[in-house]
Amino acid sequence: MATHADLTLSQKFDMDGFVETGRLLSPSEVDTYRDIYGRFLSGEIESGDKRSDLGSHVPRRNEAQENITQIMWPSALHKPLLDMPLHARALDMAKTLIGDDAVLDFDMLIHKAAHTHVPTPWHQDAAYWIDLPDTRAVSIWVALDDAVLDNGCMWYVQGSHKQPLRRHYPTSDGKNIQCDGAEDEPGATPVPLAAGQGVAHSGTTPHYSRGNATDSVRRAYILAFRPAEMLRLERERGFDVGLTENVRVIRNSEAAEDHRPQR
């Protein structure tokens, strides 16, 4: 009988809703991306309204520093990123996982500074997105620092991507959305990664990460892909995942319904 270890990456992805991709960047490449990342955070590369705080519902310990910094569309703000190794390697991985018609939908940076202690709320990416007839999608989360439990590695709920979308609701300040979820629910799985490694998850897989309780930063680069025809439909309907308007609200009709997680 085949074991889980015998399955291909795409089979594991289909079964669990997430899969580790292995190394996507060498140590020297990680250093290059960290340098660009720092230029975004310092403001040398201007991000304007593409920069926001995913942890804005929690009072900041330091007013000058976001709890969880999110910068949408770094590749649109700094176009050389498109020709660097990560976009090509992530696209190859996306094609392996969801099909050869995969194309880049959007990318983003998410940064957790040391001792910010604010978790990223449980959510499903599809809740942010408009309804589309083909729901294939994959987000590839790439660690630029070692990601561990105490600085905010990703958590997923194994197999939950095959269930109805969970009901989502606004965070207390109304600027982000969340759903019910817990580390102790069946299937909840942490995915620690070394810098340069990645993990891929579907648009319907619930996920979250703890706040950063360590002395070091936790930087991640996320690239999201979907079928080319669905990208065309998205853009035709005026949805560009924050490129023109970086507002995080519930757009998927199923996520607005009262589906509860199975506990």
- Position 61 scores a pLDDT of 84
pLDDT category at 258 given cuts 50, 70, 90 is low
Relative to beta strand 177-179, strand 188-191 is: unpaired
For residue 1, pLDDT beyond 70: no
The long-range contacts involving 40-49, CB below 8 angstroms and separated by at least 24 positions, are: 40/71, 40/74, 40/77, 40/78, 40/109, 41/69, 41/111, 45/74, 45/77, 45/78, 46/77, 47/71, 47/74, 47/77, 49/246
* Least confident segment among 51-65, 69-83, 114-128, 232-246: 51-65
- CA 250 to chain CA mean position, Å: 16
3-class DSSP state of 24:
coil
Q: Are 223 and 87 in contact (CB under 8 A)?
A: yes
Q: How large is the average pLDDT for residues 230-245? A: 96
* Chain segment 165-195, per-residue pLDDT in tens: 999 999 999 999 999 999 999 999 999 999 9
Q: Structure pTM? A: 0.94
Cα separation of 142 and 109, whole Å? 10
Amino acid at 156: Y
**pLDDT computed for residue 2 by the predictor:** 56
Instruction: Give helix then strand counts, H and E, for the chain.
Output: 5, 13
Instruction: pLDDT band for 3, please (50, 70, 90 cuts).
Output: low
Predicted pLDDT of residue 88? 98
> What is d(CA 25, CA 241) in angstroms, rounded to the nearest whole number?
25
| Contact residues for 157 (Cβ-Cβ < 8 A; gap 6+) | 17, 181, 185, 186, 187, 188, 189, 205, 206, 207, 261
pLDDT, tens only, 215-235:
999 999 999 999 999 999 999
SS3 137: coil
Integer Cα distance of 255 and 235 in angstroms: 21
pLDDT above 90 coverage of the chain, percent: 88
Q: Which of 124, 121, 126, 149 is nearest to 57 (CA)?
A: 121
Residues 123 and 75 sit within 8 Å (Cβ to Cβ): no
